[in-house]
């Protein structure tokens, strides 16, 4: 059995601190074969610079997926191809460096494919069909464990993709909404599913951003920016644990994790 931890969108400094707080003890408890994290919001809420990429590696993350914020730090273009463990969105029309589907080897020598795909509904990015993009990856790939981070707004869209690929991928994990859903389950042919893994970061904000800045932007001034300097002391960690059969590549168990933490607790 292969045990994989997948951590939902890590947002800003609060997210990095929360990762540092929870990951070492979780790793000790579970002895994961692989730790995957969505890193599209790691650098001040937008994108992933190289310093923070290395910080996540130091904290024990093995593979990083991204999302619609992939290019918010253009620095990514300069270093993504130096590493083989960053998956940016697969179905971009633009010619962007790096890969949307990467294969990594666990410490025990098992191969795992990790794919990052952008969804269509309510998303602004110009993309190719997520369904076709994933079919092509499956056609090209030798059989192995395959974890798909489907980065999208609409739960129904995520479900249609998950059912269409049931039995042909090990897990279809939704990200992007930053709110963990309670629908984690196994589909009929062994694909694990959750509509959204949720967010790792500030608990008292709005999906990771400081709440007053979001209220200001949404209701009073569309041009005012989101602020990610949360003064709050409460944090959340959102993830799922997958237990996958290494012979069949099917998932036997998906366990959601949602933990709260108060930074200055005595
Ligand atoms: Fe995000
Ligand atoms: Fe996103």
Radius of gyration of the chain measured on its C-alpha atoms? 17
**Helix orientation angle between 130-140 and 155-164, rounded to the nearest 10 degrees:** 30
**Nearest ligand, CA of residue 67?**
2
Whether 44 is catalytic is no
Dmax (CA) for the chain in angstroms is 55
**Nearest ligand, CA of residue 198?**
1
pLDDT on residue 231: 73
Number of separate domains in the chain? 1
pLDDT on residue 230: 72
Estimate to the nearest angstrom the gap between the alpha carbon of 32 and the chain centroid: 17
Q: Calculate the CA dihedral of residues 74, 22, 60, 65 and round it to 10 degrees.
A: -40
Sheet strands (E) in the chain: 2-7, 34-38, 63-65, 86-87, 101-105, 111-118, 145-151, 171-175, 185-186, 192-194, 201-202, 234-244, 251-262
Distance CA 188, CA 183 (A): 15
C-alpha of residue 68 to centroid of ligand 2, in Å: 5
Distance CA 1, CA 213 (A): 45
Domain containing 251: what range?
2-262
C-alpha of residue 214 to centroid of ligand 1, in Å: 15
pLDDT beneath 50, residues of the chain:
266
Per-residue pLDDT reduced to its tens digit, 226-249: 998 877 789 999 999 999 999 999
Estimate to the nearest angstrom the gap between the alpha carbon of 263 and the chain centroid: 24
pLDDT on residue 266: 46
C-alpha of residue 199 to centroid of ligand 2, in Å: 10
**Nearest ligand, CA of residue 8?**
1
pLDDT on residue 229: 81
CB-CB neighbours of 218 under 10 Å: 12
**CATH code for the domain of 234:** 3.60.21.10
The one catalytic residue among 21, 30, 44, 69: 69
pTM of the model: 0.97
């Amino acid at each position: 059995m292969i045990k994989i931890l997948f951590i939902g969108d890590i947002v800003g400094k609060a997210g990095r601190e929360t990762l540092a707080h929870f990951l070492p003890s979780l790793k000790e408890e579970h002895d994961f074969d692989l730790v995957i994290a969505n890193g599209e919001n790691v650098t001040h809420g937008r994108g992933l610079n190289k310093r923070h990429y290395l910080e996540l590696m130091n904290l024990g993350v093995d593979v990083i997926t991204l999302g619609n914020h992939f290019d918010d730090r253009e620095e990514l273009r300069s270093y993504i191809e130096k590493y083989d463990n960053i998956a940016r969105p697969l179905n971009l029309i633009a010619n962007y460096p790096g890969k949307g589907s990467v294969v990594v080897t666990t410490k025990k020598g098992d191969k795992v494919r990790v794919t990052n795909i952008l969804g269509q509904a309510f998303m602004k990015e110009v993309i190719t069909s997520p369904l076709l993009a994933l079919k092509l990856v499956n056609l090209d790939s030798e059989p192995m464990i395959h974890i798909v981070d489907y980065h999208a707004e609409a739960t129904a869209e995520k479900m249609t993709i998950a059912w269409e690929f049931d039995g042909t991928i090990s897990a279809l994990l939704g990200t992007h909404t930053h709110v963990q859903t309670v629908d984690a389950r196994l589909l009929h042919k062994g694909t694990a599913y959750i509509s959204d893994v949720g967010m790792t970061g500030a608990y008292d904000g709005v999906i990771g951003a400081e709440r007053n800045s979001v209220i200001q932007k949404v209701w009073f001034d569309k041009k005012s920016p989101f602020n990610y300097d949360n003064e709050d002391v409460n944090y959340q960690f959102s993830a799922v644990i997958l237990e996958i059969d290494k012979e069949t590549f099917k998932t036997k168990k998906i366990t959601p994790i949602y933990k709260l933490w108060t930074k200055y607790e005595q």
